[in-house]
Chain A
Amino acid sequence: MISISHLDKAYRLENGRLHHVFKNASVTIPPKVNVAILGANGAGKSTLLRLLAGVDQSDRGRISTSCSLSWPVTLRGGFLPVMSGRENCWVVFSIHGYSRESIREKLAKVQDISGIGEYFDEPVKNYSAGMRVRLGFALCMAFDYDYFLLDEITSVGDAEFRETCKTWLLARNQRHNIILVSHQMNTIRQFCQVAVVVHDHKLTLVEDIEQAIAPFADE
């Protein structure tokens, strides 16, 4: 269970004015379900993921949970472009406190899941968008989080990658859940049981996924 209460978040724009993303937003996500986050562009879906992951801080309000949440897995991915995929993954495992032996083991696993083969040792700046996402996803899957926060990543991969995603996510469904931002309603239907709708600085939980999708379906 994740409960968000009285969340305020504003960004200062370049022109000096404040842009409010959330104003007094509260929602409680029930345990053991996969969650879709729905909303128009710029409504604050990615901001919500960043706040959940703890990589950005709210101005007011609390996010409380006893579960562990991954970092937001995004299209850009938290990779340094000049380093190879392997070095990037090494850094991530290393900052999470894995020992040297287990890192070696995990790196082999990441290379295997990602399916990018030789490119694992190429600088990330030479990757295509799809390869970058494959690597980001594979890296995250090497961790044992309760919730995986996925931001739009299913939209760029090819069919094979989507199949890999599906296999991994469904296989892990017993113990792990996902919080997914996506504009592809089929993907959402496939994975998620409930939705959190971001609209007008507020968050609303919709327990019926079809009902939640309906306003966005014809986009």
Chain B
Amino acid sequence: MLDKTSGNPDTSEPVIELRNVSKTFGEVRALTSVDFKVYPREIVGLLGDNGAGKSTLVKAIMGYFRPDPGGEIFFNGKLIEDWTVARARKLGIETIYQERALAEKQPIWRNLFMGREPCNRWGLLDVATMRSEAARLMSQHMGFTSAAVHPDNIVMTMSGGEKQGVAITRALYFDAQLVILDEPTVGLSLTETRKTLDFISSIKTAGKSAIFIDHNIFHVYPVVDRLYVLDRGKIAGLYDKSDISMDDLIDRLYRVARTGSLEE
């Protein structure tokens, strides 16, 4: 079961591949020789209890943490050296972080273009474009009526769902090839959760890939193609959705939490 990678209709190269990636923080081993792949037009679920290493894995993929020596990251089949966040975003990987990664004292438009501010030909910030694009995106993608939220609104004054809207729109806007969602439904209402799940399904329709991380299996199972189960920093299991029912998966997850093994 561990090495199973088939079942994906698309047999092309993975968008992203991690080989033997480990990460230690001092004495703590957050990840231990993780192998991980995402193919084009595929939604991969990443399940695991708190502290299983899900967020560390995401931050390694994003270049925020450098993997321990020996680990390799491939993007579209090419080994990437000197992986940084700026590099990862440039190549088309965007993440919607659990902690949202917003600058809350700043207006919406500064948040939407954070780290990727457009400049005009004199190298000066194109503030007019940033404002008007922010207004357009908010009404088209975030579902705000254009009059309701102004691009100059300070993020701190918005609700949890609205903040999530900003984070999702930011990931969408830059036309990412791979979108990573780290517990995107935490703190959201039912309607907002529904919208977020619809958005994840739409990533695949648009021909892109996604990694969906959550510990709520009821959210993850319906939208994904494949599932990785992470436990104490190791890949404990890898399933095609067609091979496993939700009930079976839940049983196994309970077992892994108790015994550290998915099998009986």
Whether chain B is bound by chain A comes out as: no
Q: CB within 8 Å of B: which residues of A?
A: none
Q: CB within 8 Å of A: which residues of B?
A: none
